[in-house]
Amino acid sequence: MAATMAAAVEARLARPGRSAAQRQRSRPLVGRQLPRQHVAESSRRGRGRHARGEAGPVSALTPEGAEVLYGDATAVGLEPFSLNLRRDAEEALELGEPLGRGAMGVVRRAVRRSDGEEFALKTIPKAGPVSRLGQEPTEKAMEIWERKVRDEVNLHFALGSSLDIVTLHDAFEDEAGVHLLIDLCTGGDLLSGASLAHTTEDEDNAANQFTPEDIDEPRAKSNVPTPPSGMGESWQPFSEATAAPMIRSMLRALAACHEHGVVHRDVKPANFLFMKEPDGSRRLKLSDFGLAARIYSRDELLTEQCGTYAYLSPEMARRRPYDFKVDAWAAGVVAYMLLAGEPPFADWDAIREGRDPGKDGLLRAIRRGRPEPAIQDLPNLSPGAKSLLSSLLQPDPSKRLTCAAAAEHYWVREKGVASHADALASTVVERLQAYGTLGAVRRGGIRAADQ
């Protein structure tokens, strides 16, 4: 396979007529939709090539063996679509070892030749993923895949640079793939951190002491969450003081997405990565926008069912329309896991009866919307922590806290050390501030009602 790939790459690079102009940088897209004409043109060209049975292109940037997981353009026979991105990745970047694989592509270490700075390069093959049965993708499947790739690039550009979100620094493409130059996050993900944090005696600094040198392969989307201790892999819960800053970073990242009209739709520990800062600290960043979608108006709702089962909200489990609040629910699931050391929803009946847990049982538990153990029954949790979890894991989305509001919850704001008195004082101050913004007539009406 390696010899075949090498020969194909060599043939491609030696292809006559490959001018320097073809390898020059094209104008990148910044916060705008990709041109529609590329879709139509690439679809027409693809149909023609497929009918003639011609071979498609192979990129020197495509990792060895990637055609097995994501499809080989040579086998599919479709000429790739164009996104009008830079075409000089091979000259601009020095590629390193693979870091992991996700649903949309392969991630590798990359060094920018111009300044020696390290990044991660996510490669998304234009041929799309092959089916589980090894069948070639249909034209319809290719159109869906092209839209997903285009959407992910557009959403990254729309979000721009952020302290809490993995930043897209540049984007490239060639005949076989799209290559996204993003922040290099080698500090582990949120769930691996939950497993490793308690190996240190200094728990207050646990979030800054992760040791993995490379990003592990992202955890596969599972039908059910990891069972609690005694039934499979488990982890020790974080202390509130340790968990609160991470939960706030998670909520702040999602609030930033929502402010730009982006619903992530795949919030889970594996998609929050720690990035090493120059001063040695670690910053938590939201990653992987392969399932994200855009909402353009306040009243718009989404209907596509997607995500990871264990983190689906009740409205998605019921196949009802939804909005940004699905991310808030998933954030509540993650927060519960960090604080309780086990998932709030699973096919517990099957687990207790010794049967293999299944998707249907999990979805029934989610639709009921009652975590087990119940939030109020979780031991050693403060009223503030329970208040936050109850506000996020609210089955009714109209009553569920937004991510922006949850990021300012008093327990999060006080880094998990707020007492009941702190909560009361915070509520009083907030109400006094709200009262001060009222007009004189309304303030007078409130005073008269009190008398």
* 122 appears as a binding residue in the annotation: yes
Determine the Cα–Cα distance for residues 194 and 397; give it in Å rounded to an integer.
Answer: 28
Q: Which residue has 């091979």 as its token pair?
A: 90
- Confidence bin at 412 (pLDDT 50/70/90): very high
The CATH code of domain 190-418 reads 1.10.510.10
Residues of the chain with CATH 1.10.510.10: 190-418
Question: Which range scores top for mean pLDDT: 9-23, 126-140, 161-175, 179-193?
Answer: 161-175
Residue 62's pLDDT is what?
Answer: 52
Q: Which residue ranges does the chain devote to CATH 3.30.200.20?
A: 62-184
Domain 62-184 coded CATH 3.30.200.20: yes
Average pLDDT, whole number, for the chain? 74
Count the neighbouring beta carbons within 10 Å of the beta carbon of residue 434: 9
User: Which residue has better confidence, 229 or 4?
Assistant: 4
> What DSSP character marks residue 426?
H
Q: What is the pTM of this model?
A: 0.71
Whether 38 and 84 have beta carbons less than 8 Å apart is answered as yes
- Annotated catalytic residue: which of 164, 266, 323, 327? 266
The verdict on whether 266 is a catalytic residue reads: yes
Terminus-to-terminus CA distance in the chain, angstroms? 85
Lateral strand order in the sheet of 168-173: 93-101, 106-112, 118-125, 177-182, 168-173
Helical (H) or strand (E) element with 329: helix 325-340
Name residue 431's beta-bridge partners.
none
Kindly tell me if the per-residue pLDDT of 230 is higher than 50: no
Is residue 350 predicted with pLDDT exceeding 60? Answer: yes
